[in-house]
Structure 1
């Protein structure tokens, strides 16, 4: 069990995880946050009164330390906390690209390590957050981390070599489609549906579509050809091309 949890980084990832825990009434008892931008910490404190502004050294002394920075910034911070982590602590990186072996090296041999890819729906407890553990992290520590993450959604244990793939699929996936869903909802309201009806129609349509594609025995080609009118058909090759270029490009960058 972790009596204290810290975030090195007060950005979106910290907000997503704190929001999920708050919604589930499962916030850790002691939450420390440090960020190079004091305003970012203050913004979290405005929404989560339990957050304590900390120094980097104080954050490094928590029972569970989350590295919630982009890879370049995290690479700069890791040597600064090497030697400051408690021997019984766990360090969990939320950043892509930096492997467990590199974390251990930059943390002066610290081996109680994990990596996780949080995704946005964790803020409502419906996340998909793949996690990988260093071989040296004991079973009880793994169980404690998974128990802490449970209110955020699913946290399947995966091969570390696949984490960057999950980063571009499940972690970044909402950004590929969210703005499109929001625009269709906006148009629904402009056509006369009130906000409640538009939201209900969008929710039912999206859940049904996703389940038909990914949770049914309807063949994929049949599932994609159930609606006789496809207003976007002429643009589909361009959209697929954009997805291939952009997702493929970011995956190549993270995997290099």
Structure 2
């Protein structure tokens, strides 16, 4: 399928990220309709992206070629109510939330099976996202290729097993929040020690990419990787940090599992 028009049910952060990624790449679909009950949220989005259409009427957004469900899991049943009656037979619904499976979405849509799920990553706003996607069984190769082309300006969109999407929600979806505070603090320190802001960010950018590459490509064990640098200023705090990550993320995983 070739998406000429796109609708968003939900005009919050996720919609802003994805529309921003298209806009940055000069790849906005021919028509983008965003629905949200919050008029202020719609006004903010419209101020950033004047070419989009905004509405508080869910049926208008749901009548497009591809319909993104960009709301939190608890709101999905309510959000899908206006979608079910307005969907075109050849439309595709793409949920951007964890927890609610393709089968459950199809059931909520009255048996409509043209459904996919994607876990969005915030870096999509600059075209460097990692957005795992799972497709409903009735979507054929042309449907899947069409969606991948639509998603391409956001970065990578690997096709994965649906059962793994919640894990990706914790790793790539929420993952930036685990590191952004540390990145901001490193940048601030770099500036206080004399670097220009962009020079500090450039160093941190390359350092982070390289650190992951060493873990992924060197053939060394994790212990060997961490032994490559003898001076570890935060060594005394690592155990507390990793314990907090394991405790909080394990608990969160239990909440977002289908």
Q: Same fold (TM over 0.5)?
A: yes
Matches within 5 A, 1:116-155: 116-155=118-157
* Aligned pairs (5 A) from 1:44-59: 44-54=45-55, 55-59=57-61
1:41: how far off? 1.0
State whether residues 60 and 84 of structure 1, in contact with CA within 8 Å, keep that contact through their aligned partners in structure 2.
yes
Partner residue in 2 for 1:159: 161
Moved more, 18-27 or 97-106: 18-27
Q: Which residue of 2 aligns with 1:6?
A: 7
Matches within 5 A, 1:37-186: 37-54=38-55, 55-186=57-188
Q: CA RMSD in A?
A: 1.2
Where do 4+ consecutive residues of structure 1 move more than 3 Å? none
User: Could you report, residue by residue, the CA deviation over 1:10-66 in whole angstroms, capped at 9, with x for unpaired residues?
Assistant: 111111111111121111110000101011111111111111012211011011000
Unpaired segments of 5 or more residues in structure 1? none
Counterpart of 2:37 in structure 1 is: 36
Counterpart CA distance in 2 for 1:209 and 1:157 is: 25
TM-score of the pair, normalised by structure 2: 0.96
Supply the distance in 1 between the matched residues of 2:217 and 2:9 (Cα, whole angstroms): 37
User: Please, what TM-score do these two structures have when normalized by structure 1?
Assistant: 0.96
Which whole-Å CA distance do the structure 1 matches of 2:167 and 2:219 have between them? 25
For structure 2, list consecutive stretches of 5 or more residues without a partner in the other structure: none
SS in 1 for 2:7: strand
Given that 1:164 and 1:254 are in contact with CA atoms closer than 8 Å, whether structure 2 keeps it comes out as yes
- Following the alignment from structure 1 to structure 2, what is the Cα–Cα distance between the partners of residues 138 and 194? 50
* Shift of residue 139, structure 1, vs aligned partner: 2.0
* Deviation at residue 101 of structure 1 after TM alignment: 0.8
Checking the alignment, whether the CA contact within 8 Å between 1:83 and 1:108 is kept in structure 2 is no
Shift of 1:246: 1.2
